[in-house]
Chain A
Amino acid sequence: MATAQTSFDVIVIGAGSVGTPAAFALAGAGLKTLVLDENASVGQGANKAAIGGIRATHSDVAKIRIGLRSLEILSTWQDTHGDDIEWVAGGYTFVAYREREERTLRNLLAIQKTHGLPIDWLEPAELRAVVPDLNPEGLRGGTFSPEDGSASPLLALHAFYRHACARGARFHFREPVREILEERGRVVGVRTDRDTYRAPVVVNAAGGAAREVSRMAGLDVPVTPDSHEAGVTEAVQPFLGPMVVDIRPAPGSANFYFYQHRTGQVIFCITPDPPIVGTDRRETSVFLPMVARRMVALMPRLRTLKVRRTWRGLYPMTPDGAPIVGPSRELEGFIQAVGLCGQGFMLGPGLATYLVKLIAGDLDEADREVFAALAPDRRFAGAEKLK
Chain B
Amino acid sequence: MNETPAGNRRVELHPILPPDTRAPVEFFWRGRALVAREGERIASALIAGGIDVFGHHPKDGSPQGIFCANGQCSQCTVIADGVPVKACMEAVRPGLRVEPLDGNPALPPVTRPPRFHAVAEVATDCLVLGGGPAGLAAASELGKAGVGVLLVDDKHRLGGKLVLQTHKFFGSIADCHAGMRGIDIATVLEEEVRALANVECWLEATAVGVFSDGGVGIVRGGREYVLVRPETLLVATGAREKMITFPGNTLPGVYGAGAFQTLVNRDQVRPAVKLFIVGGGNVGLIAGYHALQAGIPVVGLVEALAECGGYKVHADKLRRFGVPLHTRHTVVSANGTDRVESITIAAVDERWQARPGTERTYPCDTVLIAVGLDPVDEFYHKAVAFGLKAFAAGDAAEIAEASAAMFSGRIQGLEIARALGRDVPEVPTEWREKEAVLKSKPGAVAAEVLPAERDVQPVFHCCQEIPCDPCTSVCPEKAIVVGEDLRGRPRFLGEEFGKKCIGCGACVAICPGLAVTLVDWRRDPEFPIVTIAHEFPREWIRKGDRVTVLDTEGQALGEVEIVHVASAKKLDRALLVRARAPRAIARRIAGIRVQEPAVGEPMEHYVARLTDETVVCRCERVTAAELRALVRRGVRDVNELKAITRAGMGACGAKTCAALIRHLFLEEGVPADEITPNVERPLFVEVPFGVFSGTEIEDPSP
Contacts and interface: CB of A to CB of B under 8 A. Distances in A.
Interface in B641-691: 643-644, 649, 651, 653, 676, 679, 681-683, 686-691
A289 to B, nearest CB: 5
B72 to A, nearest CB: 13
A304 B84 CA distance: 9
Interface stretch (A96-104, A291-299, A321-329, A369-377): A291-299
Contact of B690 (A233, A291, A296): A296
Given A43-B643, A158-B643, A305 B107 contact: yes
Given A283-B681, A288-B692, A300-B111, A308 B686 contact: yes
A234 B686 contact: yes
A303 B687 contact: no
Interface string A297-339: 1001111111111110000000000000000000000000000
B694 A286 contact: no
Contacts of A39: 637
Given A48-B639, A297-B114, A300-B114, A237 B105 contact: yes
Interface in B94-147: 103-114, 116, 119
A255 interface: no
B219 to A, nearest CB: 11
Interface in B173-230: 209, 211-213, 215, 217, 225, 227
A120 B104 CA distance: 33
A235 B686 CA distance: 11
Give the dominant DSSP class at A's interface.
mixed
B686 A307 contact: yes
Contact of A239 (B107, B113, B215, B636): B107
Given A41-B640, A283-B212, A305 B681 contact: no
Most buried by B among A133, A135, A295, A305: A305
B431 interface: no
B113 A300 contact: yes
A36 to B, nearest CB: 16
B83 interface: yes
A293 B107 contact: no
A79 interface: no
Given A135-B113, A300-B110, A234 B209 contact: no
A78 interface: no
Contacts of A239: 106-107
B629 to A, nearest CB: 14
A41 B107 contact: no
B327 interface: no
A250 B690 CA distance: 19
Contact of A301 (B110, B225, B386, B676): B110
A236 B688 contact: no
Contacts of A137: 113
B695 interface: yes
Interface in B59-105: 74, 83-84, 103-105
Contacts of A303: 110, 114, 688-690, 693, 695, 702
B635 A41 contact: yes
Nearest to B653: A309
B116 A301 contact: no
Contact of B689 (A41, A155, A264, A296): A296
Contacts of A236: 84, 104-107
Interface residues of A, number: 48
Contacts of A308: 651, 653, 683, 686
A41 B639 contact: yes
B681 A289 contact: no
A311 B110 CA distance: 27
B100 to A, nearest CB: 15
A309 to B, nearest CB: 5
Interface string A38-74: 0111111000100000000000000000000000000
Interface in B621-641: 635-637, 639-640
A234 B688 CA distance: 9
A288 B694 CA distance: 11
Contacts of B113: 135, 137, 300
Contacts of A305: 107, 688-689
Contacts of B686: 233-234, 306-308
Interface in A132-165: 133, 135, 137, 154-155, 157-158
A234 B109 CA distance: 16
A80 interface: no
A237 B640 contact: no
A222 B694 CA distance: 40
A3 interface: no
B217 A302 contact: no
Contacts of A302: 107, 689-690
B693 A284 contact: no
Nearest to B74: A234
Contact of B212 (A284, A288, A296): A284
B58 interface: yes
B110 A288 contact: no
Most buried by A among B213, B683, B689, B690: B689
A292 B693 contact: yes
A280 interface: yes
Contact of B687 (A40, A283, A285, A307): A307
A237 B682 contact: no
Interface string A155-197: 1011000000000000001000000000000000000000000
Given A283-B681, A309-B682, A304 B83 contact: yes
B233 to A, nearest CB: 14
Given A283-B209, A284-B212, A304 B702 contact: yes
A302 B113 CA distance: 11
B670 to A, nearest CB: 13
Contacts of B682: 283, 309-310
Interface in A226-244: 233-237, 239
Most buried by A among B74, B108, B691: B691
Nearest to A308: B686
A306 to B, nearest CB: 4
B639 A284 contact: no
Contacts of B116: 293, 296-297
A350 B385 CA distance: 39
Contacts of B109: 133, 301
A285 B225 contact: no
Contact of A304 (B386, B676, B683, B690): B690
Nearest to A309: B681
Contacts of A311: 679, 681
A304 B223 CA distance: 10
B408 to A, nearest CB: 28
A285 B217 contact: yes
Nearest to B679: A311
A309 B639 CA distance: 15
Contacts of B225: 288-289
A154 B111 CA distance: 35
Contacts of B683: 307-310
A280 B212 contact: yes
A282 B212 contact: yes
Given A40-B637, A158-B643, A300-B112, A285 B689 contact: no
A43 B107 CA distance: 32
Most buried by B among A155, A293, A306: A306
Interface of A: 39-44, 48, 133, 135, 137, 154-155, 157-158, 173, 233-237, 239, 264, 280, 282-286, 288-289, 291-293, 295-297, 300-311
12 contacts: A41-B643, A44-B637, A237-B106, A282-B385, A285-B211, A293-B116, A296-B695, A301-B110, A304-B108, A306-B686, A309-B683, A310-B682
Given A158-B643, A293-B693, 9 more contacts: A41-B676, A237-B107, A289-B225, A296-B693, A303-B688, A304-B110, A304-B702, A310-B681, A311-B681
List the 5 shortest-distance A-B pairs measured between CB atoms, nearest first. A285-B215, A303-B690, A292-B692, A282-B212, A41-B640
